[in-house]
Amino acid sequence: MSGYSHPYWLEIPALKGSLDQPRDAEIIVIGSGLSGVSTVYWLQEKGYTDILLVDYEAENAASFRNCGHILYGTVESMQALTALHGEEIARKLWALSIDICHEVRDTILRHKIEAQYKQDGYLVIAIDESEEREIQQSIALLNKNGFGSEYVSREKLEKMGFRNVHGARFEPGSAQAHPTLFRNGLLEVCLKRGLRYHSGVKVTAVDEVRDRVRLTTIPWGDLSCDAAVIAANAYSPLLSDFFAKHRLVEPFRGQLITSKPLKNHKFPVRYPHSFDHGYEYAIITEDNRLMIGGWRNRTEGGEIGIYDIGVNPLVEQGLKDFVETYYALSEEVEWEFSWSGIMAASKTGFPFIGPTDSQRIFTCSGYTGHGFSWAHGSAKILADIINGDPVPDIIREKCNPRYFQ
Ligand X SMILES: Cc1cc2nc3c(=O)[nH]c(=O)nc-3n(C[C@H](O)[C@H](O)[C@H](O)COP(=O)(O)OP(=O)(O)OC[C@H]3O[C@@H](n4cnc5c(N)ncnc54)[C@H](O)[C@@H]3O)c2cc1C
**Of residues 247, 249, 217, the one with CA closest to residue 232:** 249
Residue choice 9, 147, 235, 275 for contact with ligand X (CB under 6 A): 235
**Of residues 346, 364, 367, the one with CA closest to residue 232:** 364
Report if residue 33 touches ligand X, rule: CB under 6 A.
yes
Report if residue 118 touches ligand X, rule: CB under 6 A.
no
Minimum CB–partner distance for residue 378 and ligand X (Å): 9
Report if residue 256 touches ligand X, rule: CB under 6 A.
yes
Q: What Å distances lie between residue 137 and 94, 97, 150, 320, CA to CA?
A: 15, 19, 11, 31
In the region spanning residues 69 to 108, those forming contacts with ligand X, defined by CB under 6 A, are 69
Report if residue 345 touches ligand X, rule: CB under 6 A.
no
Minimum CB–partner distance for residue 244 and ligand X (Å): 12
- Strand intervals (E) in 55-159: 69-70, 122-125, 150-152
Report if residue 315 touches ligand X, rule: CB under 6 A.
no
- Closer residue to ligand X (CB): 360 or 370: 370
Burial of residue 282, with CB atoms counted within 10 A of its CB: 0-12 exposed, 13-18 middle, 19 or more buried: buried
Report if residue 51 touches ligand X, rule: CB under 6 A.
no
Please give the single-letter amino acid code of residue 297.
Answer: N
Please give the single-letter amino acid code of residue 145.
Answer: N
Instruction: Provide φ and ψ at 113, rounded to 5°.
Output: -80, 125
**Residue 190, H or E segment:** helix 179-192
**Of residues 262, 289, 294, the one with CA closest to residue 277:** 294
- Closer residue to ligand X (CB): 153 or 204: 204
Minimum CB–partner distance for residue 88 and ligand X (Å): 25
Question: How many CA atoms does the CB half-sphere of 245 hold within 13 Å?
Answer: 8
Residue choice 17, 22, 36, 73 for contact with ligand X (CB under 6 A): 36
- Closer residue to ligand X (CB): 61 or 381: 61
- Closer residue to ligand X (CB): 45 or 88: 45
**CA distance linking residue 26 with residue 49, whole number of Å:** 8
Residue choice 40, 100, 311, 343 for contact with ligand X (CB under 6 A): 343
Residue choice 27, 28, 30, 52 for contact with ligand X (CB under 6 A): 30
- Closer residue to ligand X (CB): 147 or 281: 281
Interface residues toward ligand X, by CB under 6 A: 30-36, 54-58, 61-63, 65-69, 201-203, 231-235, 238-239, 254-256, 281, 293, 341, 343, 365, 367, 369-373, 375
